[in-house]
Structure 1
Amino acid sequence: MTKVYIVGAGPGDIDLITVKGLKAVQKADVVLYDRLINQDLLEETKEGAELVFCGKRPDHHALSQSTINHLLVKYALQGKVVTRLKGGDPFVFGRGGEEAEALAKRSIPFEIVPGITSGTAAPAYAGIPVTHRDYSSSVAFISGVSKPGTDEEAYWERVVKSMDTLCIYMGVKRLPEICDRLKNYGRSPDTPVALIQNGTMNSQKMVKGTIDTIVEKSRFIENPAMIVVGEVVELSSHLQWFDPAGEDARVSAETIVG
């Protein structure tokens, strides 16, 4: 029976996809997949399944969002089982809502399969609880980039003043600007900040600093990376459990970031 599954593949570690998400991959006739999924998941597709790359990099999209929406509708109307495989969670900065809307307008059956978002997973693998009874009772997941026409100053003022912990997606290129806004709207320059690149993967690396020092310390960090702001960052000093590359690599990384 025709159906479209919009599936969150998780943050990168292949074991973090849900059982339900994996089943959707295995049964699909067509899989439309993003750049940030673990590519090993494609080995779980059935023989003969069509694989369509829909990857997006900053400032470059293999396919536009409207084209992706069109393809989901097209394959579904051909009577195929379609799985849209997205990094993280499809409804957390994944534009899964837009894809579901396109299907709903055509009365095409669909199902949302939530995934683990990098906003919680990357900090967890770095030993940073985004909430903690003693340090943070609130957390916001926000984007470092805004839709054109957004009143960015009002947006940042609202989130900076109302939340203990900020998990910022897609913000590496705008880190200096983000740090200025954090200070402008009341955060102390000494507030701890962490950047976690390739969270949950064997290539994961993290640098820590403060709002005043993190820009310089993060010069070797690239996308994809999660920015975490708040007192909970300090807990990683004794809660960091994930060692992706071994003791020697960690010592080398600490030497690099100073």
Structure 2
Amino acid sequence: MPSTPPPPRPPATPFPGPPGGPGAATFAWALLPLVVPGAGAPLAFGIAAGRRPTAATVAPAIAYTAVFLGFFALILPFDVGETPDWALWSAFVLMVASTFGAAVHLLAVRRHVWAPRSPAPVPKPVPAGDWVAPALDQAARLREDARRLAEGDPSLAKRSGVGRPDRPRRLDDGGLVDLNHAPAAVLCELPGFNAALAEQVRERVERLGPFQSLDEVIVEVGVAPGFERHLREYAVLLP
């Protein structure tokens, strides 16, 4: 087990803003609709929505994109030279309105879009052991709660998967193992157990029925004295 948890990865901050606020280069971005009439407005607001995805940037990006597509919807249905005057004038008005309107709009939201971002807080290193003890205490409390459930309502404990890590669980039992029902592969994970000891437990339960106490397990199976404390910590006996 590592002595310290892995440090959290700092969040990425694409398109970092200038340290002192919006710079002169952002004026070129705001005037993009004048440089590229029609396509400049959705392009500039697309950049704004990518950097600062709020209602003030996403909604205009959608609106100016719709206007840009509307321009072609008015022109393309007709053959060259046969476009009616109303379609030409409508397309012209859309183009002029989106070009100059978007430039003014971008200048108005320039500070909002390019405001400098607060630097991400640097995570403090966690001293060794500071996170281990609370985790162990939490697991011990979970085991104690699961034991009380097993004593008070064994049927519910079985349905909830107490002591059966090989089955889907409905609650966290802190790592308990039911010696009377868990398969040999699970019993092998207990401290002091091996494959032969696990099979011995399974054969004994199948032959004589469930164990009634941990003392009975320790005497009949022959658990090494050095592992008795660990067995009492992690073993549970459901009827």
For normalisation by structure 1, the TM-score amounts to 0.21
Which is richer in strand? 1
